[in-house]
Amino acid sequence: MTYCLDKNSGVSGNELKLVKFLNKCMPCIVHPIIMKWSTTQVLTVTEQLEAGVRYLDFRIAHKANDPSMNLYFVHMVYTTATVQDILWEVLSWLETHPQEVVILACRNFDGLTKKLHCHLIACIKEIFQCKLCPRNVVPTLRTMWQRGHQAIVSYEEDMEVEKHCELWPAIPYWWGNKTATRALIQYLEHMKQTGRPEKFFVAGINLTENLRYILVHPFGSLKKMTLQSLPCLKIWIKQQYPGPRKECINIIAGDFIGNNDFVKDVIELNTKINPSLHCQSKGNK
């Protein structure tokens, strides 16, 4: 959701006090830097779905001192778009693509009270209704098509998941927290050796800056950092195998997904499970 970060937004409540202090004291200098290192996508949600993305990472927040029930997305700063508007946008896309399935991973929950959690879950139920796949359903495509389910919503709040059968538990995310491509790949390979979880899990090919990296690269940005890493990560992606075996990959998530055929490379991994998909995709082209 970082394609619509609010340039006038304050820093989120979860950020370091030093970052908030510097942004308050020197906004003209610090805020543009924060924006450069907070933006991870440029395509809108609909454009991402059209490109082939089927997993959306939703980090949800309520602004401090905001008397309304409005919820936003957050990545250091808040978005201009509200959560409710984006959920309706996802529904609109699903209605025109009845055989597509999306996974919405709701997490972070910066500033959400119990009342706001109830409000968010009520919105999710109201918007998607029967399109929500309950967690007691084995989510094969055949089963979901038969039942009209198109959305799996994971929720990083165990107490709420227990109360609502429409919500799935949080999906594990392999986050390397690395600034170097080689170190990130080593981390992912190490995680593969430990064995894949039984259910959904995400291998994040996201490079992550730290304060030292930003100081050494004063004219850099997360986009530059990501684009430099993509050729090596593209090779790693093509070497992966989906499936149930210990070393297999499930969901792959990345930043700036509109670049370097990332989505196409991930989707083509499915042909390693079913070679006939390759023939079908060629025919569809």
Residue range 236-260, pLDDT digits in tens: 999 999 999 999 999 999 999 987 7
Whether the per-residue pLDDT at 12 is higher than 60: the answer is yes
Check whether residue 166 and residue 176 sit in a common domain: no
Residue 129 tokens read as: 């209704």
Distance of CA 251 to the CA centre of its chain: 10
Check whether residue 136 and residue 255 sit in a common domain: no
Check whether residue 53 and residue 97 sit in a common domain: yes
The more confidently predicted of residues 25 and 226 is 226
Evaluate whether 174 touches 201 at the Cβ level (below 8 Å): yes
Check whether residue 44 and residue 123 sit in a common domain: yes
**pLDDT tens digits along 100-121:** 999 999 999 999 999 999 999 9
Check whether residue 145 and residue 14 sit in a common domain: yes
Residue 116 tokens read as: 């706001």
Rounded to 5 degrees, φ, ψ at 97 are -135, 70
Mean pLDDT across the chain, nearest whole number?
A: 91
Check whether residue 130 and residue 194 sit in a common domain: no
What confidence category does residue 34 fall into, taking pLDDT thresholds of 50, 70 and 90? Answer: confident
Last residue of a domain, one of 171, 195, 212: 171
Rounded to 5 degrees, φ, ψ at 164 are -130, 115
CATH number at residue 88: 3.20.20.190
Residue 203 burial (CB count, 10 A): 24
Whether the per-residue pLDDT at 285 is higher than 50: the answer is no
Evaluate whether 109 touches 117 at the Cβ level (below 8 Å): yes
CA atoms of 143 and 69, how far apart (whole Å)? 36
CA atoms of 57 and 93, how far apart (whole Å)? 17
Last residue of a domain, one of 171, 190, 210: 171
Check whether residue 192 and residue 59 sit in a common domain: no
Q: Which domain holds residue 71?
A: 1-171
What confidence category does residue 21 fall into, taking pLDDT thresholds of 50, 70 and 90? Answer: low
Check whether residue 114 and residue 70 sit in a common domain: yes
pLDDT, residue 79, reads: 97
Check whether residue 101 and residue 119 sit in a common domain: yes
pLDDT, residue 283, reads: 47
Check whether residue 226 and residue 193 sit in a common domain: yes
Check whether residue 115 and residue 167 sit in a common domain: yes
Check whether residue 130 and residue 4 sit in a common domain: yes
| Number of domains into which the chain is organized | 2
Last residue of a domain, one of 171, 197, 230: 171
